[in-house]
Amino acid sequence: MLNQQTRAIDANVPEAVELTRLGVSGAAEAIRRGEISAENYVSALLAKARRKEGLRAFITLDEPGALSAAREADKARAKGVNAPLLGVPLGIKDSYLTAGVRTSLGVGALKDFQPTEDADAVATLKAAGAIVLGKTNLVELSYGLTGENGPYGQVGNPHAPDHVTGGSSSGSAAAVAAGLAPATLGGDTIGSIRVPASLCGVVGFKPTTRRWPRGGVAPISHTLDTTGVFARGVEDCVLIDQVVTGAPAAELDCRADLKGTRFAFAPRQYLNAVDPEVEARFRNTLLRLAEAGAEIVEIDLGGDFQALALRTTWSLFFRETKASLSDFLERHAIPVAFEDLHVGLRAGVKDAWDHFVIPGAPGYLSEQAYHALTADRLAVKERMSEIFTRHGAHALIFPTTPCTAPRVERQMQFTVGDQEVDFRVLANNTIPASAAGLPGVSLPIGLDSHDLPIGLELDGPESEDRALLGLAARVEKALRARQ
């Protein structure tokens, strides 16, 4: 319930509506109009985050800093300042540097580290009036897909805390799904935004690679890394994208139909080893989109496509880690060496580093093999490009993850259908867009029989992010109209 002070400020908001249910656009508009105060809004989110601390969505809540910034935002509004995100608090993945706010990268060795600079995306959002609410939990050094973290704890899925959130941006997805923040920043190398968005039932947007700034964000792969955002709706992703990139403001297409839209559907590649409930929901969604006027065309990307995309992407992921992360640590004067991070990793991550990441390790690629990946990646890009050029599709459509969130105790190995798989399968469908550098949006499309979210991904042409977001907004509206 809105408290007495907030109701006095906002007589137009129904008493039953909680402040914590506001999205980015709604909160920004309410603050701009003086209907709510930024201080009350931040206070409500902080209180809810404290009540939900068992989810471990945040590593750090910057209560004093967030409240102080909120009071300043309220003063600025009273003076007529009209910034697009004035007074809106956001959660920031703890791989982003934040000036004066602890940045751990998810490792215990940096539990007391406070940077003196902001990551580029954070600085841009703050300049637009946004407030850093706190730093969200993640898999150590963003190296995982389930949400496990040794020093700071396993992040719980708000829909079922004994199930995983997905990773590596686990806390960012959980914070939005639990109503602890209207939006959060994350990072995506092979699916670390889209996978947790799918498993937690929120919207996750991975921009075209290098379209968003990556400066000041701990890397894995300079080829694949992408920063991005989680929100409850596409509209909020559009606003954040506009601010971060400086793109001109654009009105979303408000039609609830999809006439003139063509989706490509590649079952041979994207429905391989998919849970029957997920496939059934996906196919039902295709029918609903067709009822809304969309054309669905079935395509085949080739029998070798999935193996090529997976091998190329995982190889880049492992091979570029040491050089990318070492450079980041040195460039930003972070008080820990790569070797110290390696020694302190929990067993699962350290085993992967010992086998693939450390030069001389059994799986470490030679220079010749590494450079050969350029041609392999180009082959993936060319196949993906044909979806839009040869087949005339506006987007490729598929289930974001092949299953809903596995149980925490079975997060490393679990069953999809009747097949035993390991955690890497969670990124099987997100990896091709990562290899090709394409933009992707994951949208929630319902729940399975255990009330766990199912995600739908749309991938668009390179650099056509705004068109993809506009299409995602139409899909979101069309599906809501046909519930």
Catalytic residues: 93, 168, 192
Q: Report the alpha-carbon distance of residue 248 to residue 246 in Å, rounded.
A: 6
Provide the token pair at 231.
């929100």
Q: Count the neighbouring beta carbons within 10 Å of the beta carbon of residue 272.
A: 13
Phi-psi region of 142 (alpha: psi -120 to 50; beta: other; left: phi over 0): left
d(CA 394, CA 378): 21
Q: How far is residue 181 CA from its own chain's centroid?
A: 14
Q: Which of 327, 321, 314 is nearest to 140 (CA)?
A: 321
CA 162 to chain centre: 21
Structure tokens at 236: 């909020």
Extract the tokens encoding 154: 């396993």
What is residue 321's DSSP assignment? H
φ, ψ of residue 99 to 5 degrees: the values are -60, 125
Beta strand 262-265 with 295-298: parallel, antiparallel or unpaired? parallel
How many angstroms separate the CA atoms of 344 and 141, rounded?
11
User: Distances in Å between the alpha carbon of 455 and those of 10, 19, 153, 255, 444?
Assistant: 35, 26, 25, 22, 5
Task: Collapse the DSSP code of 59 into the 3-class scheme (helix H, G, I; strand E, B; otherwise coil) and give the result.
Answer: strand
List C-alpha distances in Å: 287 to 254, 283, 299, 307, 444: 21, 6, 17, 29, 16
Phi/psi of residue 348, each to 5°? -60, -45
d(CA 237, CA 184): 10
Kindly state the DSSP code that residue 79 receives in the 8-state scheme: T
Q: Are 105 and 149 in contact (CB under 8 A)?
A: no
CA contacts within 13 A on the Cβ side of 462 = 15
Q: Which residues contact 35 (CB under 8 A, 6 or more apart)?
A: 9, 10, 12, 13
Count CA atoms closer than 13 A to 9's CA, side-chain side. Answer: 18
Consecutive H or E run containing 194: helix 194-200
